[in-house]
């Protein structure tokens, strides 16, 4: 496999970035009873997982358009907004903590569970912390050789 001349400029888009969950009222990192910080690990919006999500979404849209044309009727789109679904697909791990008790929330990190977390109005504050981090390419660049 040939190494790109631009490898030194490459972001590590397929390596997860850890977002610590900050309590919006206190400004402090949420932590469990043992002091372990709550976090969500997310892949870059430029990752292979994002590309796969985009390709699958486009395929579904194309299939839906074909079905609509063949049937002569439109179907309502009842899916979760695409950006939430994409962030759910990019979420690779988490350690979630009940902010009132410090108890660990033992729910597997799956795209379905992540989508449920992000789409709820009551937990939108978490989505608002994680989404910008997935879109920020600086989070996926290796450290600079210059201080």
Residues near 115 by beta carbon (within 8 Å), at least 6 away in sequence: 80, 84, 85, 88
Please compute, for residue 105, the number of CA atoms within 13 A of its CA located in the half-sphere on the CB side.
Answer: 20
Strand arrangement of the beta sheet that strand 91-97 belongs to: 17-20, 39-42, 91-97, 104-105
pLDDT of residue 76: 38
Cβ atoms within 10 Å of 32's Cβ, excluding its own: 17
pLDDT above 60 (res 68): no
Predicted confidence (pLDDT) per residue in 78-99, tens digit: 334 788 899 999 999 999 999 9
Ramachandran angles phi, psi of 8, nearest 5°: -70, -10
102 conformational bin, left if phi > 0, alpha if psi -120 to 50, beta if neither: left
Predicted confidence (pLDDT) per residue in 105-146, tens digit: 999 999 999 999 999 999 999 999 999 999 899 999 988 877
Domain ranges of the chain: 15-47+77-137
Predicted confidence (pLDDT) per residue in 15-51, tens digit: 999 999 999 999 999 999 999 999 999 999 899 998 9
Give dist(CA 110, CA 115) in Å, integer: 8
């Amino acid at each position: 496999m040939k190494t790109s001349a631009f490898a030194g400029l490459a972001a590590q888009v397929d390596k997860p970035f850890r977002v610590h969950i900050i309590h919006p009222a206190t400004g402090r990192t949420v932590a469990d009873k043992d002091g372990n910080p709550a976090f969500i690990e997310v892949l870059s919006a430029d990752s292979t997982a994002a590309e796969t999500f985009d390709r699958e979404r486009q395929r579904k849209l194309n299939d839906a358009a074909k079905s609509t044309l063949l049937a002569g009727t439109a179907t309502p789109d009842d899916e979760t907004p695409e950006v939430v679904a994409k962030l759910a697909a990019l979420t690779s791990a988490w350690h979630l903590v009940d902010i009132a008790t410090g108890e660990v929330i033992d729910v597997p990190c799956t795209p379905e569970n992540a989508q449920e977390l992000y789409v709820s109005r009551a937990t939108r504050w978490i989505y608002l912390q994680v989404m910008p981090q997935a879109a920020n390419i600086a989070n996926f660049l290796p450290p600079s050789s210059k201080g």
